[in-house]
Structure 1
Amino acid sequence: MTSAGTSLPQGHQFQLDLDTAQRIKDAVVSLDGVAELSAGSFGEVSLLFAGARVGGIRKPSPREDTVIEIHVVVDVSAEKVLQELGAEIRQAAMAACSELTRVDVIFADAISGTNT
């Protein structure tokens, strides 16, 4: 594995690991306007690792670790413009993992305040 910001030896492909996925999740959830990430109705929006899962993040293609979807529950009490919040989420995820080439943000739900 390689940490964010390091170059990969030629011929090696980046693999998203548990620590990196958790770092992405923590960066996104810390943003004002993000209440939490949504794992979907049945936990289907999750990255699965040996003995662990990170809910709210999914890889659209199992062969491509540099493209992810982040499913967000918006805190509408923060009164953020969704387009701007999406850009902030994308930026936070890419800062947490510089190997990401694309981050798709899906607004899965919305609540008013962080008390659900």
Structure 2
Amino acid sequence: MTTPSPSSQPEQRFQLFLDAAQRIKEAVTSLEGVAGLSAGSFGEISLLFAGARVGGIRKPSPREDTAIEIHVVVDVAAEKVLQELGTEIRRAAMAACPQLKRVDVIFADATLGTHV
């Protein structure tokens, strides 16, 4: 009797669903120094789900769910160093969704205060 080789096992592929996207958004927007997320001028930076949209997050490749971009509006009143804030954003996103392998942070805009 032979055992099947590891390559013959069906690969479990992670898919980013609405609940995970919302957890990521909540985790990131709760950080000091993040005023919100930017969906772009026309809402083009969004994850689209059946009947819902999560603005400010997108996948660089439609075939890969373990890498995302987060487009952040910085609250300059918090006086955070952007490099450190970027690291905090990555950590928060990956804690909210451990299946993520890469999180690219784009500082899209800045505001004075937390209202976007």
- The match for 1:4 is none
Separation (CA, whole Å) in 1 of partners of 2:54 and 2:115: 21
- The match for 1:79 is 79
Report whether the alignment pairs 1:22 with 2:26.
no
Separation (CA, whole Å) in 2 of partners of 1:87 and 1:59: 19
* Gap regions ≥5 residues in structure 1: 1-8
Kindly report which structure 2 residues correspond to 1:103-114, keeping only aligned pairs within 5 A, or say none: 103-114=103-114
- The match for 2:4 is none
Separation (CA, whole Å) in 1 of partners of 2:24 and 2:52: 15
Indicate the SS of the match to 1:48. Answer: strand
Q: Runs of 4 or more off by more than 3 Å in structure 1? A: none
Indicate the SS of the match to 1:84. Answer: helix
* Gap regions ≥5 residues in structure 2: 1-8
Normalising to structure 2: TM-score of the pair?
Answer: 0.90
Separation (CA, whole Å) in 1 of partners of 2:99 and 2:42: 29
Between structure 1 and structure 2, the one with the greater Rg is 2
Separation (CA, whole Å) in 2 of partners of 1:10 and 1:38: 37
Q: Indicate the percent of aligned positions where both proteins have the same amino acid.
A: 79
Q: CA RMSD in A?
A: 1.1
Report whether the alignment pairs 1:63 with 2:60.
no
- The match for 2:3 is none
Separation (CA, whole Å) in 2 of partners of 1:74 and 1:61: 25
Q: Deviations over 1:61-109 (max 9, x none)?
A: 0000000000000000000000000000000000000000000000000
How far apart are 1:12 and its partner, in Å?
Answer: 1.7
Separation (CA, whole Å) in 2 of partners of 1:25 and 1:10: 31
Normalising to structure 1: TM-score of the pair?
Answer: 0.90
How many equivalent pairs are there?
108
2:109 partner amino acid: D
